Structure 1
Amino acid sequence: MRWVCLLFPRLALEGALRRRPDPGAPFALIDGPPPRQCIRAANRAARERGVRPGQALGFAEALCDSLETAPFDAESVERWRRRLAAWAYGFSAQVSLHYPHALVFEIASSLDLLGPWPRLEARLRAELGELGFSHRLVIAPNPAAARVLVNVHDGLAVDESGLEAALASLRLDRAGLASLDADRDIVQTLTRSGFQRLGELFALPRSALARRFGGRLMRHLGELRGEWPLALDYHRPTPRFSRTFAFDRPVHAIAGLAFPLKRLLQELSLFLIGQDAGVERFQVTFELEDGPPQTVEIGLLSVQRDPETLLELTRAHLERVRLVGPVMALTLFAPRLSDYAPTRRELLEGPARQAQAWAALHQRLVARLGESALRPLVEHREYRPEKAVLNGLGPRARDASAGPPRPGWLVPAPQRCDGDVVQLLAGPERIESGWWDGGDIRRDYYLAQWVDGRHAWVWCEPGRQGWYLHGWFG
């Protein structure tokens, strides 16, 4: 087995920055009781002005008069960890939140599908970069080893043969002894005895270590080496998606919602990839400053999960929406997921690519104009040509290609065309119908060559003279 550990050292700050309209402005998280609040974390813009973790809030505000702050929220950090776990579920079915500030997931069973480790590592980093989370990443034979190695390494890939040497080089204060399964006094005792590296403990007889420090230290060392199985609770994502973006100040125009909407749709896309699913319909709800919420239903013609496509279609829907009042929060809710089938790729892409382009254009037109403004032409079970193609009403034909050929273009009304028909190429085809509704017809249709070489669909009434043009073949 091979386990990936992702450590997020700035998760609280970066999670809060994702909710900011301007993430580049000076910002810090604060913690502590109101009289003694101090800086917990600060972004780059604040640090460039001298703001540092541990400073008193008043001193930090004196250094940076434009500093914006928000209280540290431990529950928000856990929510972000669960969302990242739902994202990681797209790479592995064994995702655990066992360690604080980190994710571990087993990846060996997915390497055949997702590619060799260097390519998968690049994909993990790229997607986390799009989400806006800094991270450290290590892959090791067991989750305990991956977790302690990520304290001092980023990008390390170690297998069974190199695990002992990689662990042996760790300092005791970085080897997880104090923060995971052993007490801090064990580390103090070891360091006072002259031990500095984990490898020095590996070289000692196990019986002597067990007598001096008990089973907890031995169990932790066994977990690091993969000799002691580690029981993990695996994360299982929910079958629906709901995210909310709250604004610091009211937003009065749809254009001001573009940034949070893009963020939420990126999260939706990664959630769908993790579930191997897509959406056909979801809701965008605006929490208004005064008045009830305003909800917009986003309906799609096919199952989608690409973030750019979802953003384009959502924007097109919102162009037809007028806000009832100032918006204080934005919620994206997908109550039901749909099975997703990737677009089939052909060896020689020709008509398939054209069909994809038409499907994308159809989606954009419906999103921009509304479903009622764009209706397909559907062939129905009706022999009279002028009534056989309607805008979606009535019983559909079983198979349009099963009967005789039909022209691609019908003229609005049959036109007399004596003298324009040069040669009859096929026919006749007798069409006699409509006696029950007063629109009775009795015609013999022919494929004819027109005077200029085009192919026309013409008819005449049995036993009578005179030709009528009814359509053109492409």
Structure 2
Amino acid sequence: MLWIGLHLPLLPLESFLATLPAGPGGSEPAVALVEAHRIVHANAGAQALGVKPGLKRATALALAPQLLIGQADALRDRQALTSVAHAALAFTPAVSFALPQGVLLEVEASLRYFGGHDALLQRLRDALRPLGHALHCVSTPTAQGSALLSRSTDGLHCADVAALQRALDAAPVWLLGPGREHWEALQGMGLNTLGDLRSLPRAGLTRRFGEALLVELDSALGRRPDPRVSIELPASFDSALELFARADTTEQVLHGAQVLLARLVAWLAAQHAFVRRFSLQMKHEPRWRRDAGTPLHTTLEIALAEPSRDPKHLMALLRERLSQLALPAPTLELALRASDIARQPPPNTELFPTPRSEREGLTRLLERLQARLGRERVQRLVPVQDHRPECAGRMEAAALDGSPPARTGPPLRRADVLARRAVARPVWLLPQALPLAQRQSRPLLDGAALQLLAGPERIEAGWWDGDAVERDYFIAQQPDGALVWIYRARMPLSAQSEGEGWFLQGRFG
């Protein structure tokens, strides 16, 4: 077996920094996390100011008045770690937690599929990079061995148990859970590494420090069974992010939403799925609500014309929709939810443009236009089975599912389709037919006589809805060579209802 251990050394700080608005120039402030009024985590900027774990809150603020202090939150860290586990599920179903800051993957069966150990590690790091975590990655034959060594080193690979034992012998003793509890006593005895610990009699160590110390060490060396429970992917995605400061602008909301979208993409990749629809809920601060009628939260629904898990595309759609939204009150918490997904193989990469790639580009343009202008303002022409040109089509909102327009009426026969292809129709129809002047019964357009080239094409329709027409259509040519579509009433009764003379119906391209 081959286990990959992932350890996130800065997970508490990174999960907290994700709740902060972006600083000027992308700079990271000096940050520390407190629990029970004591510093438990401090980033590099805070440590440069003398703030270290173990200090009291008041002492830390005295050393660095500009220090940004947040509350340590195990639930917030667990949500961030869960997204890392979801990303790992795209490589193997045997993924388990190594709490509080680690994830384990059993990848022996996946090596050949991903092209070997090094190629798999590179793809794993690439998949985890959008989540924005510092990462230690170690691979060994045992789960506990990978979990322990990943806490202190990065990039180590132990191909067999002998290499694992050598690596563990050189590892510090505080990697073991009980070793941290008895660190001062072990250090006083001169036991600094796991190799020093293994050189002592087991019975004496058990009496003095308890059995748990050796149980964990034996599991790391593969001498004791170490069953792991694989995580299960939830059927729907639901992730929340509580912001450190209230968000008043679209950019502040987008900064937090970007974190949630990265988690959504990891969840989708774990099951080789693409999202069709998702929602972003923005919970508002109660004391900043204008009145009792102001909602407690605002929900933004995003629907896609084609399923996708491209984070840039999803972010662009969200940005367009948020730019059109006026928040009734500042936002304190974001929640992203998705359950409508499509499981399908990913699209093949293409060197040259193909009809499929061009269609996808048009679909994404349609999505962005709908996000910016609104669904009802992006329309398409739908054919209607009616011979009258002004009734042969109607406008409707473009479908978000990428489906073709629904045809009204009974299906066309093959003979009807072939007949329609043989009939010439202009590209552009006028909203209303334009009356034309005439000279000696010949139609005039812009003062010049038109030359009839083809026709008549007789159209008699509309008797069933009280708007009957009886027309003879002709294709005519202007002096400059442009083609137009004109008609005149066929019968005197029709002329009384529509008007006498010639009419311009449309222009050819």
**TM tier relative to shorter chain:** 0.7 to 0.9
Deviation at 1:306, TM superposition (A): 1.7
Deviation at 1:340, TM superposition (A): 5.3
1:105 maps to 2:105: yes
Instruction: Kindly provide the amino acid, as one letter, of the partner of residue 118 in structure 2.
Output: P
Deviation at 1:352, TM superposition (A): 3.8
Deviation at 1:147, TM superposition (A): 2.3
Unaligned runs of 5+ in 1: none
Aligned to 2:439: none
Distance 1:227 1:472, change over 3 A: farther
1:382 maps to 2:386: yes
What do residues 91-149 of structure 1 show as CA deviations (whole Å, max 9, x unaligned)?
Answer: 32221014542101133444555555434433433443432211200223442332233
Deviation at 1:6, TM superposition (A): 0.2
Distance 1:267 1:183, change over 3 A: closer
Instruction: Kindly provide the amino acid, as one letter, of the partner of residue 312 in structure 2.
Output: E
Q: CA RMSD in A?
A: 4.2
Deviation at 1:197, TM superposition (A): 6.1
Aligned to 2:252: 256
Distance 1:325 1:223, change over 3 A: closer
Deviation at 1:218, TM superposition (A): 8.9
What do residues 348-391 of structure 1 show as CA deviations (whole Å, max 9, x unaligned)?
Answer: 41544433332222111111111121221111222222111101
Work out the CA distance in 2 between the residues paired with 1:155 and 1:66: 36
Distance 1:355 1:265, change over 3 A: same
Is the 1:381–1:395 contact (alpha carbons within 8 Å) kept by the matching residues of 2?
A: no
Q: TM-score, normalising length from structure 2?
A: 0.75
Is the 1:366–1:374 contact (alpha carbons within 8 Å) kept by the matching residues of 2?
A: yes
Work out the CA distance in 1 between the residues paired with 2:260 and 2:147: 30
Which of 428, 431, 439 is the matching residue for 1:409?
Answer: 428
Is the 2:278–2:303 contact (alpha carbons within 8 Å) kept by the matching residues of 1?
A: yes
Task: Describe the SS at the equivalent of 1:156.
Answer: coil
1:27 maps to 2:23: no
Work out the CA distance in 1 between the residues paired with 2:352 and 2:231: 42
Deviation at 1:64, TM superposition (A): 0.3
Aligned to 1:244: 240
Work out the CA distance in 2 between the residues paired with 1:107 and 1:63: 47
Is the 1:177–1:184 contact (alpha carbons within 8 Å) kept by the matching residues of 2?
A: no
Work out the CA distance in 1 between the residues paired with 2:212 and 2:333: 48
Unaligned runs of 5+ in 2: 398-404, 437-442, 493-499
1:441 maps to 2:469: yes
Work out the CA distance in 1 between the residues paired with 2:263 and 2:194: 41
Q: TM-score, normalising length from structure 1?
A: 0.80
Distance 1:39 1:227, change over 3 A: closer
What do residues 426-451 of structure 1 show as CA deviations (whole Å, max 9, x unaligned)?
Answer: x7765432111122234455667665
1:293 maps to 2:297: yes
What do residues 70-90 of structure 1 show as CA deviations (whole Å, max 9, x unaligned)?
Answer: 232333333332232223223
Aligned to 2:495: none
Q: Which moved more, 1:338-347 or 1:7-16?
A: 338-347
Aligned to 1:275: 271
What do residues 44-89 of structure 1 show as CA deviations (whole Å, max 9, x unaligned)?
Answer: 2211111111223222211101112223233333333223222322
1:179 maps to 2:177: yes
Deviation at 1:17, TM superposition (A): 1.7
Q: How many residues align?
A: 461
Is the 1:239–1:337 contact (alpha carbons within 8 Å) kept by the matching residues of 2?
A: no
Work out the CA distance in 2 between the residues paired with 1:43 and 1:275: 35
Is the 2:142–2:220 contact (alpha carbons within 8 Å) kept by the matching residues of 1?
A: yes
What do residues 262-299 of structure 1 show as CA deviations (whole Å, max 9, x unaligned)?
Answer: 22222222222223223333322232223522333333
Instruction: Kindly provide the amino acid, as one letter, of the partner of residue 277 in structure 2.
Output: R
Deviation at 1:41, TM superposition (A): 0.9
Aligned to 1:150: 150
Is the 2:5–2:143 contact (alpha carbons within 8 Å) kept by the matching residues of 1?
A: yes
Aligned to 2:372: 368
Instruction: Kindly provide the amino acid, as one letter, of the partner of residue 266 in structure 1.
Output: A
* Mapping for residues 69-468 of structure 1, pairs under 5 Å: 69-111=69-111, 114-160=114-160, 163-171=161-169, 174=172, 178-179=176-177, 223-224=219-220, 230-289=226-285, 290=289, 291=294, 292-339=296-343, 342-343=346-347, 345-346=349-350, 348-392=352-396, 396-397=407-408, 404-405=420-421, 406-415=425-434, 416=436, 417=443, 419-421=449-451, 423-424=453-454, 430-443=458-471, 451-454=479-482, 456-457=484-485
Instruction: Kindly provide the amino acid, as one letter, of the partner of residue 382 in structure 2.
Output: V
Is the 1:428–1:446 contact (alpha carbons within 8 Å) kept by the matching residues of 2?
A: yes
What do residues 233-274 of structure 1 show as CA deviations (whole Å, max 9, x unaligned)?
Answer: 111122222233333443333343232122222222222222
Distance 1:438 1:282, change over 3 A: same
Instruction: Kindly provide the amino acid, as one letter, of the partner of residue 404 in structure 1.
Output: R
Work out the CA distance in 1 between the residues paired with 2:321 and 2:394: 26
